[in-house]
């Protein structure tokens, strides 16, 4: 019978052990987790300086000083004991992994090709010129840093952002959210599609077509870039283009940007042309 299935071995495994059966390589993990701080936990502020003063100087903390390393004999003995208790001493969950095995399936951001937010990746590629992705990424990092350091936006009631958006004071510390909110708020819902000659007399038939989320973001960001490219430069250096983009994004959130008018115009055209959806020719084409 396999030892794991033996009920007595399981009882033995539950018994009180006088000494540790296995030397856990991760000595300070528990302490570290106890000390770990969450940015929004209220206890952070009290705990932070104390740790610094008491625990965090490298001179008197050395693992070898605290406990002598176990000899090979001890390790072998503990492995034998584990085998006796019905546990696998070479289980990959236990042996050879300092931080344990990752839980599967892996979260999206652990894959190096998907490590950034999808909106940020899309907008970065729209920023890219001449195939220079690395430069575009640096520009995007600077845009996000600008948003992080600029004062909280004053949202205009005339140009409301997406419903359910957080308070403006919370936006700068989450620049990705700030950017996403700005883009999604001005993104148009439809685009106009022209069917040539279908309106009769050689005129084209304008029909509104709904857009996917990615398409909407792309349109909105292209509009923003159009505005940015028409702005005069204010200085030289690598931070200047990103600064202009970031200023326009702040202007969008504050309702000052001309991009809002473009969106409104597009929606107006869509509303006016929606009757064209019932055009018999179009229906015929659809069939």
Partner 1 sequence: MSVPTTLRCLVRPSVPRHVPRQVAVVWAAPFSTTASLAANPPKKKASAQMASIRSGKKMQLGKFKKKAPGGRTGKSPLPGERKAVRKRIQLSNSNALPVPGLAELTSEYMADKVNAGTVVSLPGTVQDELRVIEAFKPTQYWGMFRNPSMLVRSETVDLIGRMQDSAEKKQTLKLVVSGDRLTGKSMLLLQGMAHGLLNEWIVINIPEAQELTTASTEYAPIPGTDPVQYMQNNYALKLVQAVRKANEKTLTRLTTAYSHPELPQNIPINSTLMQLANSAKEADSAWYVFHALWQELMAKGQGRPPILLTLDGLQHIMKVSDYRSAAYNPIHSHDLALVRLFTDCLAGNHQFPGGGAVLAATSRGNAPRVPSMELALSQRAAEQAGAEIPKHDPFFRDYDTRVEASLKKVQVLKVSGVSKLEARAVMEYWAASGVLRKTVDEATVTEKWTLGGHGVLGEMERASLLTMRP
Buried b (16+ CB within 10 A) or exposed e, 127-148: bbeeeeeeebbbbbebbbebbe
Minimum Å gap between C-beta 122 and partner 1 is 12
Minimum Å gap between C-beta 96 and partner 1 is 16
Q: What's phi and psi for 286, nearest 5 deg?
A: -65, -35
> Cα dist. 176→14, 110, 121, 165, 225 in Å?
49, 18, 11, 13, 18
* Binder among 10, 28, 101, 272 for partner 1 (CB under 8 A): 28
The interface region with partner 1, picked from 14-22, 58-66, 202-210, 262-270 by CB under 8 A, is 58-66
209-248 residues near partner 1, rule: CB under 8 A: 232-237, 239-240
Does 176 engage in binding with partner 1 (CB under 8 A)?
yes
Minimum Å gap between C-beta 121 and partner 1 is 9
Q: How many chain residues touch partner 1 (CB under 8 A)?
A: 54
- Residue closer to partner 1 (CB basis): 153 or 255: 153
DSSP state of 57: -
Minimum Å gap between C-beta 1 and partner 1 is 39
Does 162 engage in binding with partner 1 (CB under 8 A)?
no
- Residue closer to partner 1 (CB basis): 94 or 282: 94
Does 155 engage in binding with partner 1 (CB under 8 A)?
no
- Report the C-alpha gap between 161 and 178 in whole angstroms: 11
- Report the C-alpha gap between 252 and 214 in whole angstroms: 19
- Report the C-alpha gap between 48 and 39 in whole angstroms: 11
* Binder among 29, 118, 156, 204 for partner 1 (CB under 8 A): 29
* Binder among 48, 162, 194, 261 for partner 1 (CB under 8 A): 48
Helix (H) or strand (E) holding 190: strand 190-200
Task: Give me Rg for the CA atoms of the chain.
Answer: 30
* Binder among 86, 152, 168, 258 for partner 1 (CB under 8 A): 152
- Residue closer to partner 1 (CB basis): 82 or 171: 171
Q: Are 178 and 253 in contact (CB under 8 A)?
A: yes
User: Residue 128 has which token pair?
Assistant: 């890219």
- Report the C-alpha gap between 76 and 93 in whole angstroms: 18
Buried b (16+ CB within 10 A) or exposed e, 221-231: bebbbebbeee
* Binder among 137, 215, 279, 281 for partner 1 (CB under 8 A): 137
Minimum Å gap between C-beta 142 and partner 1 is 9
Does 151 engage in binding with partner 1 (CB under 8 A)?
yes
Q: Which residues bind partner 1 (CB under 8 A)?
A: 26, 28-29, 32-33, 36-39, 44-46, 48-53, 56-59, 61, 99, 116-117, 120, 124, 134-135, 137-138, 140-141, 144-145, 148-152, 172-176, 232-237, 239-240
């Amino acid at each position: 019978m396999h030892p794991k299935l033996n009920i007595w071995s399981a009882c033995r495994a539950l018994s009180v052990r006088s000494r540790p059966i296995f030397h856990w390589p991760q000595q300070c993990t528990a302490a570290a987790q106890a000390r770990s701080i969450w940015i929004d936990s209220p206890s952070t502020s009290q705990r932070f300086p104390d740790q610094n003063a008491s625990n965090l100087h490298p001179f008197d903390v050395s693992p070898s000083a605290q406990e002598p390393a176990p000899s090979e004999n001890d390790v072998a003995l503990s492995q034998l004991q584990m085998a006796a208790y019905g546990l696998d001493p070479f289980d990959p969950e236990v042996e050879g992994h300092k931080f344990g095995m990752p839980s599967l399936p892996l979260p999206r951001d652990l894959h190096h090709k998907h490590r950034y937010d999808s909106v940020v990746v899309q907008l970065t590629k729209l920023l890219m010129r001449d195939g220079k992705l690395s430069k575009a990424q640096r520009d995007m990092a600077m845009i996000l840093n600008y948003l992080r350091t600029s004062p909280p936006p004053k949202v205009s009631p005339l140009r409301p952002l997406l419903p359910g958006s957080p308070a403006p004071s919370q936006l700068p510390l989450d620049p990705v959210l700030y950017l996403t909110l700005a883009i999604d708020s001005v993104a148009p819902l439809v685009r106009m599609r022209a069917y040539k000659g279908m309106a009769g007399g050689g005129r084209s038939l304008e029909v509104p077509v709904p857009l996917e989320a990615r398409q909407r973001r792309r349109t909105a960001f292209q509009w923003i870039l159009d505005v940015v490219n028409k702005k005069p430069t204010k200085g030289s250096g690598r931070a200047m283009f990103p600064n202009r983009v970031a200023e326009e994004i702040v202007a969008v959130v504050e309702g000052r940007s001309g991009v809002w008018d473009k969106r409104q115009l597009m929606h107006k055209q869509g509303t006016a042309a929606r009757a064209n959806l019932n055009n018999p020719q179009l229906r015929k084409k659809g069939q």
